[in-house]
Amino acid sequence: MKIILLILLLILAVILAAVIKTCLTPAKQSVWQPKEDLQREQMYAEKLSEMVRYETVSVPDEDQREKFLGFHKVLEKLFPLVHEHLEKTELDGNLIFYWKGKRSDKPLILMGHQDVVPAEGEWLHEPFSGDIEDRKIWGRGSADTKCSVMSFLQAVEELLKEGYVPEQDVYLTSSCTEEVGGPGCPKIVNELKRRGVRPYIVCDEGGAIVQEPIGGVKGYYAMIGVLEKGQGNLLVSARSNGGHSSYPPKNSPIARLAAFVNDIEKHSPMKASFEKETEAMFSTLAPYGPFVYRLLFGNMRLFKPLLVKILPMISPQAGALLKTTVAFTMQSGSDGRNVLPQKATLNLNLRYIPHQGMKESNDAIRRIAAKYDLEVEEIGCYDYCEPVDIHSAAYAQVEQVVNEVFPDLPVCPYVMTGGTDARFYQEICDACIRFSPVVYGPAQMKGMHGLNEYLDTYSLPGAVDFYKAMILRNH
């Protein structure tokens, strides 16, 4: 009895110490605000507008080279110096621009995709209008991610105009199949491999200057994507001899699939835990949040076991940062209302986290499937990406560039639950940074792949300056 009391007192004392420490540690505030530079904004917005007006929707398994060659004509017109001075390679619509530097031991790659997702539904401005109104540029691709492509091409255009020669080799690359997970980026990477290029830093889309990255953490933050989860599908099938629905047998295919789903929902085999990068993300943001936030995330070592339990309950997004997720996405049964299926199927979409990677996660699902006599087929599975070392010189270099271009903007590592083209560069680069130097507020989060995509034009001068500084600081 005495021992229990003693332990309780000890726990209380530790929590009290954490509360006092939090009270004594001053809270921080992100004071950075987007700047106004109307002249440059207008000039860049007009270029981006032209790029948006040329529709570049990618379609899976279709040869769309001609369409993208047309888009390259637009680029040629908008960025004449890039086309005059850089060595351009075109691979089935995918692009590599090579800008020879004084040295080649630390090549830099700036990249972004040319293609966009289809635009359905009713839009406030036509999706391929490229309308510029009230310091906003409207249309599919304005935020995802023709803004980055425009900005790095413009950065090089301006540096060329000044007669600048980069210290290190620079490559600008752009695939035209990112949105359909097509072969574009692998073609680019293969070509770079053939040339023996080992990039020091690759900078792709992913994180961004995000407004309120987590509920309650006000202001803007440069969220630098350093870890990307893997992805895959498991097609789970249940078979039977069919039969008539007027005398249904027990354990018919759909009943077994239902029991299987229920089992996973109730006793998830996926383990929740903080990756190093997830922990760094929360603890970096902690001082900017409300008191409870500062208390919990500012004393991670103490509260981690509790956070692992409560975060997934509070929000699915937070939960997705802690474990491999399983989403049930497609189902099939018989074709007739009164026919029992001979085969029923269910598709599981998984996103793999390092502490429980592809093999371990798929095996866990297989074990449960076996209990219900189900078959499992893997479709297009690939594992998580090796995280970028947030203590590396390459990461520090990007951090320094952000500090220089966006003073007072806090920099924070970011864990990505979605996929990017950058993963293909993993085999040739240790620092694949996922960061678009533009402001993504709630409207952009909703608009990407959704209705009414737009970008605030105030994002553009900073984005151009960011890519310039990336080139200038890489020596």
Look up residue 388 and give its two tokens.
Answer: 């970028």
Q: Which one, 34 or 206, has the nearer CB to Zn ion?
A: 206
SS3 assignment for 370-439: HHCCCEEEEEEEECCCCCCCCCCHHHHHHHHHHHHHCCCCCEEEEEECCCCHHHHHCCCCCCEEEEEEEE
The answer to whether residues 169 and 104 touch, using CB atoms and an 8 Å cutoff, is yes
**How far is 430 from 428, CA to CA, in rounded Å?**
7
**How far is 177 from 58, CA to CA, in rounded Å?**
6
Q: Write down the least CB distance from residue 145 to Zn ion, Å.
A: 4
Q: Write down the least CB distance from residue 447 to Zn ion, Å.
A: 12
Residue 313 phi, psi dihedral angles, 5° rounding: -75, -35
Q: Which one, 169 or 421, has the nearer CB to Zn ion?
A: 421
Q: Which one, 99 or 440, has the nearer CB to Zn ion?
A: 440
What residues make contact with Zn ion under the rule CB under 5 A?
A: 144-145
Q: Write down the least CB distance from residue 272 to Zn ion, Å.
A: 28
Q: Which one, 131 or 144, has the nearer CB to Zn ion?
A: 144
Q: Write down the least CB distance from residue 56 to Zn ion, Å.
A: 12
**How far is 413 from 321, CA to CA, in rounded Å?**
13
Identity of the residue numbered 229: K
The answer to whether residues 380 and 348 touch, using CB atoms and an 8 Å cutoff, is no
Q: Which one, 144 or 275, has the nearer CB to Zn ion?
A: 144
Per-residue burial over 113-151, b if 16 or more Cβ lie within 10 Å, else e, is: bbbbbebeeebebebbbbbbeebbbbbbbbbbbbbbbbb
Q: Write down the least CB distance from residue 455 to Zn ion, Å.
A: 13
Q: Write down the least CB distance from residue 114 to Zn ion, Å.
A: 10
Look up residue 184 and give its two tokens.
Answer: 């574009």
Query: What Cα–Cα distance (Å) separates residue 31 from each residue in 28, 127, 284, 410?
Result: 9, 33, 16, 9
**How far is 396 from 107, CA to CA, in rounded Å?**
16
Q: Which one, 204 or 275, has the nearer CB to Zn ion?
A: 204
Q: Which one, 43 or 451, has the nearer CB to Zn ion?
A: 451
Q: Write down the least CB distance from residue 219 to Zn ion, Å.
A: 25
Q: Write down the least CB distance from residue 420 to Zn ion, Å.
A: 7
Q: Which one, 204 or 279, has the nearer CB to Zn ion?
A: 204
By CB neighbour count within 10 A (0-12 exposed, 13-18 middle, 19+ buried), where does 374 fall? buried
